[in-house]
Amino acid sequence: MSVQVHIEHLVVDGLALEARGEAAFQAALTRELARSLEAHGLAREWAGGAAVPAVDGGTLRAANPAAPAAFGREAGAGIAKMLTGGGSR
């Protein structure tokens, strides 16, 4: 099964990143999302495909707020939790 996730717009309130930080955040989010989907698979409710206006990725609580990659991993894990059946829409 092939899974394609398209995130058109990502809002992270209270996080200001420079361009380098944005790239690290995005790369870490993408890696974590891919890792989680590969490990846990897609929830059945998403198997037929879906488009949703918004999802709540949860509250980010990275140990080091100065590390954009840590925030990216947490955001990816929050989104993956919802997509793999560990959370709700």
pLDDT digits (tens, 9 = 90+) for 4-20: 778 888 877 777 778 78
Short-list 68, 79, 63, CA closest to 25: 68
CA distance 80 to 37: 7
Q: What is the pTM of this model?
A: 0.78
Residue 35 vs residue 85, higher pLDDT: 35
pLDDT digits (tens, 9 = 90+) for 23-46: 999 999 999 999 998 899 888 888
CA distance 72 to 88: 20
CA distance 24 to 32: 12
| Cβ(15)–Cβ(26) below 8 Å | no
- The residue ranges of every structural domain in the chain are 16-38+58-89
Q: What percent of the chain has pLDDT over 70?
A: 87
Residue 1 vs residue 25, higher pLDDT: 25
Please give the mean pLDDT across all residues of the chain: 81
